[in-house]
Structure 1
């Protein structure tokens, strides 16, 4: 099914119930990651990279002042997407909804990339055919499709 549909009043969610179910589960898992101990989760290193690679003290200070706001924004984005997926929100996306969707899809793909060991184009290519036991690579690719389709829908002529 087509994930997003442009109508006269804006962009609408067009996912099937099965697709919504998968994405609902993923947003809930992302919220659990964001609510958990980020210091021990390798996803945090990718979501919140050091601001100063050569200065651990400056990076720690930067993180001290910014991380809680970044976590709050990522949590809000995931909550917004979750509300759309579960039917708590409907109609046309607002510009804030569009940004929440784009950012949440990025965070979901980043989280799965960490779990798959993808850090660059070479490791991404190597992850094809990897036995993850749950089809995680397929989910990663599907999220890329959903994200690409949203960008195309948002930038299509009205």
Structure 2
């Protein structure tokens, strides 16, 4: 069951961070290297957390930075989620990761936790309160997934630290 949940989350992450359809660029070089003509700040709060403004006090600089970097950042997040999905398909009951795969998993787990945490508005102040939600609360199941992903991420970090 855990593999099914992770595979579903990977699929959802790929769809969630897929680049929006960029306006046709009048600059052929920009199109080749993946620079968007315009890159808008995401309106979705989870995407805004995953792709924050590089310059909070300078909208123009933040927009330029976003134009030059966001497409690659999205591609990297998609690659991580795709690698996770591939690992889940390839492995049987026991999952053995290479060092590179472990880094992809850590990135995917982090991104997924950011998305879920933003949706649930999890903070240090309300974490324990959310952990006590009654089962009938529609947020309870998603919080349980968030908590489980936190456990997986922490376990993987500890394994990586012990390997060094």
User: In which range does the TM-score fall when normalised by the shorter chain?
Assistant: 0.7 to 0.9
- Any gaps of 5 or more consecutive residues in structure 1? 1-17
**Normalization by structure 1: what TM-score?**
0.78
Deviation at 1:144, TM superposition (A): 0.4
Q: Which has the higher strand share?
A: 1
Q: Which residue of 2 aligns with 1:148?
A: 154
CA distance in 1, matches of 2:150, 2:95: 24
Confirm whether residue 86 of structure 1 aligns to residue 69 of structure 2: no
Deviation at 1:98, TM superposition (A): 1.4
Task: Give the alignment of 1:131-146 within 5 angstroms.
Answer: 131-133=137-139, 135-146=141-152
Q: CA RMSD in A?
A: 2.4
Cα distance change, pair 59–137 in 1 and its aligned pair in 2 (3 A) = same
- Secondary structure at the aligned position of 1:151 is classed as helix
Larger Rg belongs to? 2
**Normalization by structure 2: what TM-score?**
0.75
Deviation at 1:92, TM superposition (A): 4.4
What do the CA deviations read for 1:98-153 (whole angstroms, capped 9, x no partner)?
110110000010010011012x3124344334423560000000000111111122
Deviation at 1:42, TM superposition (A): 1.9
CA distance in 2, matches of 1:122, 1:133: 17
CA distance in 1, matches of 2:16, 2:8: 12
Q: Which residue of 2 aligns with 1:115?
A: 119
Q: Which residue of 2 aligns with 1:74?
A: 77
2:60 aligned residue (31, 38, 57): 57
Cα distance change, pair 149–88 in 1 and its aligned pair in 2 (3 A) = closer
Deviation at 1:41, TM superposition (A): 2.3
CA distance in 2, matches of 1:144, 1:91: 18
CA distance in 2, matches of 1:114, 1:127: 13
**For this pair of structures, how many residues does the alignment match?**
140
CA distance in 2, matches of 1:40, 1:88: 37
- Any gaps of 5 or more consecutive residues in structure 2? 21-40
Structure number with the bigger relative contact order (C-alpha 8 A, sep ≥ 6) is: 1
